[in-house]
Amino acid sequence: MRVERLLHEFGVDFDVCAFDLKPGIPPEGLPRQQVYAGRTYPSGYLDNMRQMAADSGIEMKRPPLIPNTRKPHEATEFARDNGRVLEFHCAVFKAYWADEENIGDPAVLCRIAADCGLNGGALEAALGDGRYAGRIAEQMAWSRDVGITGVPTVIFDGRIAVVGAQDYETFRNVARRVFESRSQA
């Protein structure tokens, strides 16, 4: 994963912010064919996405279900509070895109959490009482307020944003420039 490479090369304080890419998905999710009915992609678009994923060690498939991602985002906050946010974030992506799991299912999230060394039972309780729902709402509101319309958007030092799935060299170049601009400040 590109963030992990940046972490090793530069030292990274990793932060995540929830975004609601598909508002209106019900809690049980919707079939992909229904959500993307009639959608066409530019030539090579999907192949490029798959290659980018492969470069990050993920065999990207096309999961048949589009889940509601509120619970995965809440679970990510639980992982943050318990010191495993990057591991959990990566594991949820893999579970969905490579293993085609229903990440909207709290039981799936609890199993992923346990695999990451987190307490699955404690996560189940947190998802049940909705204690992280407020944080997710705040993050989504922040994303809208600053004008983010696509994901992933990676923001460096709160100043520079890289939009879309880019190759590692792009992230690396921006990171280097951000460090240089620090020294000039």
Partner 1 sequence: MESWSVGFDGNDDVERHAGMLDAARPGKPDAARPALHLRVVSDYI
Give the 3-state secondary structure of residue 149: coil
What's the one-letter identity of residue 164? G
Residue ranges that bind partner 1, judged by CB under 8 A? 3, 6, 8-22, 66-67, 69, 72-73, 89, 92-93, 96, 103, 143, 146-148, 151-164, 166, 169-170, 172-181, 184
Residue 153: CB minimum distance to partner 1, A? 4
Residue 128: CB minimum distance to partner 1, A? 20
When the beta carbons of 114 and 181 are compared against partner 1, the nearer one is 181
What is the Cα–Cα distance from 8 to 172, expressed in whole angstroms? 11
Q: How far is CA 30 from CA 24, 54, 73, 178, in A?
A: 10, 26, 18, 41
What is the Cα–Cα distance from 153 to 163, expressed in whole angstroms? 4
When the beta carbons of 33 and 181 are compared against partner 1, the nearer one is 181
Following DSSP, what letter does each residue of 50-83 receive, concatenated?
HHHHHHTT------SEE---HHHHHHHHHHHHTT
When the beta carbons of 14 and 41 are compared against partner 1, the nearer one is 14
Residue 62: CB minimum distance to partner 1, A? 11
When the beta carbons of 112 and 126 are compared against partner 1, the nearer one is 112
Q: How many alpha carbons lie under 13 Å from residue 9 in its C-beta half-sphere?
A: 15
What's the one-letter identity of residue 58? I
Residue 58: CB minimum distance to partner 1, A? 12
Residue 96: CB minimum distance to partner 1, A? 6
Torsions phi, psi of 109, nearest 5?
Answer: -65, -40
When the beta carbons of 82 and 166 are compared against partner 1, the nearer one is 166
Residue 20: CB minimum distance to partner 1, A? 7
When the beta carbons of 120 and 152 are compared against partner 1, the nearer one is 152
